[in-house]
Amino acid sequence: MKDKYTVSPAPHLHDRTSIPNVMWNVVIALLPALAFAVYYWGWRSLWLTLIGVVAAVATEALIQYLRKVPVTVYDGSAVLTGMLLTYNISADSPWWLPIMGSVFAIAIGKQAFGGLGNNPVNPALLGRAFLLASWPSLMTGNCWIRTLPHKLSESSINGISNLSLIHANLQGVSAKAYDLVTSATPLKVAQTLRDSSFVNTITTDPATNLDISGKMFKSLFDMGTLRSLFWGNVGGCIGEVSVFALLLGAIYLLWKNIIEWRIPLFYIGTVFVLTFLFGGIEGAGPSILLPFFHIFSGGLMLGAFFMATDYTTSPLTKNGRIVFAIGCGVLTVVIRLVGGYPEGVSYSILFMNVMTPLIDKLTMPKAFGRVKK
């Protein structure tokens, strides 16, 4: 017999979950997207991811060591931050970009507030916002596409797969404009088409103007494009392009009960509804395929399943999570349709992170059997 028994408060049983278990499972769920990235952009995307992860882990370990608190990098949360940060930059970025982002994300975004669980906003997204504000030309330039062609056939570039068909029908479309359309992410194209000054440069006849932009716009959301978007045959950041790979991971997480359905469902649902209602342009009316274009493109899948669901920075309350997700959806659509950036996922999540404490406050649940006064 032992000389002293353990005495501890109830409950004396525990579920098998633990922080490392949760985090490493999310890492696993993110791997398919990495595989697709390597397939489309080559090994560089893997190297960049590794660099980002190592930088994040090293920063976390160093700060914890200096603060003389237990070093907990094995729990995988820093790995996740590094990974998600790198997923949000282009495969063509210089090697130091993920390092800068990861260091900032971990040091300022997470450890400054005491580490895991205390950070007010999503560290990876903060890192991305930092990179975007610091090196906008690296984050928004045309580098997104350069690495693509060696894998993709000319006609499917950027998912504007049958644009060439339309092209044949368009009288007076300058080669210049065509180039533009084929050298950016789908969302960038959508933004450009929405910008009237672009169309004006193609032809001076207002009637054909509408026709051309409408036709080009429509090609964004025909089945061919959607198929490319689904598989990831488009330009974009390392981890965001393949809806298929991300959904695989998302299903895994939902099955493992690691993420909860409210945030992804309401986020994607909001984007779906709003883009259906407001996503069109003059000359290309509403279509049920248009919202699919929006939910398949950009970082929405990555954001909705992997970043908006980040425990620490999303509301605790169930209703709060719904408010949060709808907020993310509305902002994403606002930024995509009328904002300065073609894509709004990261900023909308970041913004809603900031609102999270207020949302929690306003959606405090009432206890079982308690009536609201």
Ligand X SMILES: Cc1cc2nc3c(=O)[nH]c(=O)nc-3n(C[C@H](O)[C@H](O)[C@H](O)COP(=O)(O)O)c2cc1C
Ligand Y SMILES: Cc1cc2nc3c(=O)[nH]c(=O)nc-3n(C[C@H](O)[C@H](O)[C@H](O)CO)c2cc1C
Single residue of 140, 209, 312, 317 touching ligand X by CB under 6 A: 140
Single residue of 79, 131, 199, 237 touching ligand X by CB under 6 A: 237
Using the 8-state DSSP alphabet, how is residue 316 labeled?
S
Residue 5 CA to residue 340 CA, distance in Å, equals 64
Task: Give me the 328-347 binding string for ligand X, x by CB under 6 A, dash otherwise.
Answer: ------------xxxxxxx-
CA dihedral 228, 230, 234, 240 (to 10 degrees): -170
144 binds, among ligand X, ligand Y, another protein, none (CB under 5 to 8 A by kind): ligand X
Residue 351 CA to residue 74 CA, distance in Å, equals 29
106 is written with which tokens? 């971990």
Task: Give me the 145-174 binding string for ligand X, x by CB under 6 A, dash otherwise.
Answer: x-----------------------------
Residue 47 CA to residue 42 CA, distance in Å, equals 9
Find all residues with CB under 8 Å of 111, minimum gap 6, and list them.
59, 60, 63, 64, 67
Q: How far is CA 141 from CA 42, 58, 97, in A?
A: 20, 29, 14
Task: Give me the 219-258 binding string for ligand Y, x by CB under 6 A, dash otherwise.
Answer: ---------------------------------------x
**Complex with ligand Y: residue 59 or 81, whichever CB lies closer:** 81
Single residue of 211, 321, 328, 333 touching another protein by CB under 8 A: 321
Q: How far is the CB of 67 from another protein (least distance, A)?
A: 6
Q: Is 122 in the site for ligand Y (CB under 6 A)?
A: yes
210 is written with which tokens? 């509408």
Q: Which of residues 16-45 bind ligand Y (CB under 6 A)?
A: 22-23, 26
Sign of CA dihedral 107, 109, 113, 118: negative
Q: What residue type is assigned to position 292 of the chain?
A: F
Task: Give me the 83-122 binding string for another protein, x by CB under 8 A, dash otherwise.
Answer: -----------------x-------xx-xxxxxxxx-xx-
Q: Which of residues 41-70 bind another protein (CB under 8 A)?
A: 67
Strand partners of residue 284 = 281
Q: Is 88 in the site for ligand X (CB under 6 A)?
A: yes
Residue 230 CA to residue 289 CA, distance in Å, equals 13
Q: Is 84 in the site for ligand Y (CB under 6 A)?
A: yes
Residue 124 CA to residue 296 CA, distance in Å, equals 21
Q: Is 63 in the site for ligand Y (CB under 6 A)?
A: no
What is the distance in angstroms between the CA of the first residue and the CA of the last residue of the chain?
Answer: 55
Q: Is 175 in the site for another protein (CB under 8 A)?
A: no
Strand partners of residue 281 = 284
Single residue of 173, 190, 246, 259 touching ligand Y by CB under 6 A: 259
Q: Is 72 in the site for another protein (CB under 8 A)?
A: yes
Query: At which residue do the structure tokens 């890192």 appear?
Result: 127
Q: Which of residues 43-62 bind ligand Y (CB under 6 A)?
A: none
**Complex with ligand X: residue 284 or 333, whichever CB lies closer:** 333
Q: How far is the CB of 120 from another protein (least distance, A)?
A: 5
114 binds, among ligand Y, ligand X, another protein, none (CB under 5 to 8 A by kind): another protein
Q: Is 185 in the site for ligand X (CB under 6 A)?
A: yes
Instruction: Collapse the DSSP code of 284 into the 3-class scheme (helix H, G, I; strand E, B; otherwise coil) and give the result.
Output: strand
Q: Is 144 in the site for ligand X (CB under 6 A)?
A: yes
Instruction: Collapse the DSSP code of 123 into the 3-class scheme (helix H, G, I; strand E, B; otherwise coil) and give the result.
Output: helix
Instruction: Collapse the DSSP code of 281 into the 3-class scheme (helix H, G, I; strand E, B; otherwise coil) and give the result.
Output: strand
The site for ligand Y (CB under 6 A) is made up of: 22-23, 26, 77, 80-81, 84, 110, 116-117, 119, 122-124, 258-259, 306-307, 309-313
